[in-house]
Amino acid sequence: MLEIKNLHARIAEEETEILRGVNLTVNAGEVHAIMGPNGSGKSTLSYILAGKDDYEVTEGEVLFNGENMLDMDPDERAAAGMFLAFQYPIEIPGVATMEFLKTAMNAQRKARGEDVLSIPDFMKRVKAAASHLNVSMDMLKRPLNVGFSGGEKKRAEILQMSLLEPKLCVLDETDSGLDIDALRIVSEGVNKLRGPERAMVVITHYQRLLDHIVPDVVHVLSKGRIVKSGDKDLALELEKNGYADYVDTAA
């Protein structure tokens, strides 16, 4: 589903490379974890997949279901099924969460040539998804992410993810800022979305998220390169020994 080949990238108009030859293949039905020290380029990779124009790809390619994803606009990628759960979700003042959800769902449907949702259909979907994630009606009426706690922001991200039903989910440090209970709720929400048609890339700094969302493959990203890949035990090893070994290898 996702093929990243020799991806090099830098901040637009700056010299230093942040990604220095990333290779990664994620098939439908798989969950891959990307771990790595702070500043290793994890968020950068997620932003490039989503199409943020602060970054410039200098080499390599990214294929999404065989298509060149780097040529697509961010909204086209979204409609094609690419979803990014942000490390720092953005506030949209004055726009109720509910309103945002509906706008986003219908925007994607229209882009795919589908009918817009009827109000009752939309409400039914939102209510179902919200109850699983412990999101209250009151929260849905509040402006998106404005004054939300860390946990509320992350739950709102996963709520959007469940409603938009993407094919490729990229989760950037979804565990940061969550207490144990919130972590459980959010992980359950994510696990519900696992399925044979869907691929996931779970970015995290800590192993504890992977106790809840058990990955098929774990990669270590360091200084802009994947320096090691393995099964879920690699995460446990990292937890014990830290990233020191890998930082050295990458240097």
Ligand X SMILES: Nc1ncnc2c1ncn2[C@@H]1O[C@H](COP(=O)(O)OP(=O)(O)O)[C@@H](O)[C@H]1O
In the chain, the amino acid numbered 194 is R
> Pick from 154, 164, 106: which is nearest to 133 by CA?
154
Cα separation, 249 vs 251, whole angstroms? 6
CB of 51 to ligand X, least distance (A): 14
Binding partner of residue 81 among Mg ion, ligand X, other proteins, none, CB cut-off 5 to 8 Å per kind: none
Closest approach of ligand X to the CB of residue 157, in Å: 16
Edge-first strand order for the sheet with 17-26 is 17-26, 2-11, 55-64, 67-68
* Stretch 15-54 residues interacting with ligand X (CB under 6 A): 18, 36, 38-44, 54
Partners of 25 in beta bridges? 3
74 forms part of the interface with other proteins (CB under 8 A): yes
Q: Please, which residues bridge with residue 202 across strands?
A: 33, 171
What type of residue is 197? Answer: E
Residue 36 touches which member of Mg ion, ligand X, other proteins, none, C-beta under 5-8 Å by kind: ligand X
51 binds other proteins (CB under 8 A): yes
At closest approach, how far in Å is the CB of 96 from other proteins? Answer: 8
Smallest gap from Cβ 108 to other proteins, in A, equals: 4
For residue 36, the tally of other CB atoms under 10 A from its CB is 26
Tell whether residue 236 is a contact of other proteins (CB under 8 A).
Answer: no
- List beta partners, residue 116: none
Q: Does 72 bind other proteins (CB under 8 A)?
A: no
The reply to whether 222 sits near Mg ion by the rule CB under 5 A is no
From candidates 33, 37, 43, 84, binder to Mg ion by CB under 5 A: 43
In the complex, least distance from residue 43 CB atom to ligand X, rounded to whole angstroms: 3
Q: Does 158 bind ligand X (CB under 6 A)?
A: no
DSSP letter assigned to residue 105: H
Name the phi and psi angles at 46, rounded to 5. Answer: -65, -40
CA distance 226 to 87: 20
Q: Based on CB atoms, which residue is closest to other proteins, 29 or 74?
A: 74
- What angle, rounded to 10 degrees, do the helices at 97-111 and 119-132 form? 120
Q: Which of 59, 75, 121, 179 contacts other proteins by CB under 8 A?
A: 75
| Residue ranges that bind other proteins, judged by CB under 8 A | 50-54, 73-75, 77-79, 83-84, 86, 89-95, 99-100, 102-108, 111, 116, 143, 160, 164
